[in-house]
């Protein structure tokens, strides 16, 4: 969305726009900071941001720190602006505690009430009969047809899921928790850009370790994970690795291969 189109959309929502400036919003959305009535706010446009707004509100209900949603349509979300600060040990402790709070929120079933997408990668969030079925049918097997060269290996991994991961898992997940979606602000650690659903809390922990690792202070706030969680980490990292392969190309094929190897 251009700044001119954004100004028109914001004015239609009742905002008096004084200035607009683009912000870095990742690869799949447009994000702007704008001044309105002496207040600085953030606008994000995209095909699925209306769903994101509902996810942020659900996370807030669970007690997780997220930017407040001021207004939203199907394709535009207006949120409070958060002033970023460098991460500190205390900030990481707060982040860990906040993620634990999010994960303590349970649901009667896995999945989510709405489907979602990462760009062209569609996410079927319909609940499955159990967690291994959800991870297989909703997250891994859709890539078997897209990448025939690894399709048979994905199927073999999915056949083993009942012995590898919990039968039932319904923790509230951020769903895309890489370090760029954890913002340290003057108000403390904040979660942004969610892709929520209910499942195994280790999904978020695995994603947080996909492109690095949080410092020990994070675990002070979160608490100790299961002693054998490392055995499942590549399995949960396999899904975001496949998403990156689909969206950004063969540069991520090696990451997919590394995630597959422990289970074949």
Ranges of residues in the chain whose predicted pLDDT is under 50: none
Q: Are 129 and 167 in contact (CB under 8 A)?
A: no
Q: Given the structure tokens 């001044």, which residue do they identify?
A: 35
| Domain span(s) for CATH 3.90.1200.10 in the chain | 89-263
Domain 89-263: assigned CATH number: 3.90.1200.10
Q: Which helix H or strand E contains 117, and what residues bound it?
A: strand 116-118
Predicted confidence at residue 6, as pLDDT, reads 78
* Count of all residues that appear for the chain in the document: 264
| Domain span(s) for CATH 3.30.200.20 in the chain | 3-80
Greatest alpha-carbon pair distance for the chain in Å reads 59
Distance between CA atoms of 81 and 72, rounded to whole angstroms? 15
**Is the pTM of the predicted complex or chain greater than 0.95?**
no
Predicted confidence at residue 27, as pLDDT, reads 58
CATH architecture of 3-80: 2-Layer Sandwich (3.30)
Q: Are 70 and 41 in contact (CB under 8 A)?
A: yes
3-state secondary structure of 95: helix
Predicted confidence at residue 25, as pLDDT, reads 58
Which residues form the catalytic set? Answer: 176
Distance between CA atoms of 171 and 107, rounded to whole angstroms? 7
């Amino acid at each position: 969305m251009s700044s001119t189109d954004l100004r028109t959309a914001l004015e239609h929502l009742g905002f008096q726009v004084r200035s607009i400036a683009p912000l870095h919003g990742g690869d799949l959305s447009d994000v702007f900071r704008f001044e309105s009535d002496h207040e600085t706010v953030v606008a994000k446009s995209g095909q699925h941001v209306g769903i994101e707004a509902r996810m942020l509100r659900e996370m807030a209900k669970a007690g997780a720190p997220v930017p407040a949603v001021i207004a939203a349509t199907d394709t535009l979300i207006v949120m409070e602006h958060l002033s970023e600060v460098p991460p500190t040990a205390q900030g990481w402790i707060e982040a860990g505690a906040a993620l634990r709070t999010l994960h303590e929120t349970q649901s009667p079933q896995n999945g989510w009430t709405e489907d979602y997408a990462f760009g062209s990668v569609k996410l079927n969030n319909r609940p499955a009969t159990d967690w291994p079925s959800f991870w297989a049918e909703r997250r891994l097997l859709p890539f078997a047809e897209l990448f025939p060269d690894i399709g048979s290996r994905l199927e073999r991994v999915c056949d083993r899921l009942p012995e590898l991961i919990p039968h039932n898992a319904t923790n509230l997940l951020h769903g895309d928790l890489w370090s760029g979606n954890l913002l340290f602000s003057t108000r403390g650690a904040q979660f942004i850009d969610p892709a929520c659903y209910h499942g195994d809390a280790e999904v978020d922990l695995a994603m947080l370790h996909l492109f690095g690792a949080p410092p020990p202070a994070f675990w002070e706030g979160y608490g100790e994970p299961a002693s054998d969680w490392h055995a499942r980490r590549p399995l949960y990292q396999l899904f975001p690795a496949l998403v990156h392969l689909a969206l950004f190309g063969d540069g991520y094929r090696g990451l997919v291969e590394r995630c597959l190897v422990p289970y074949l």
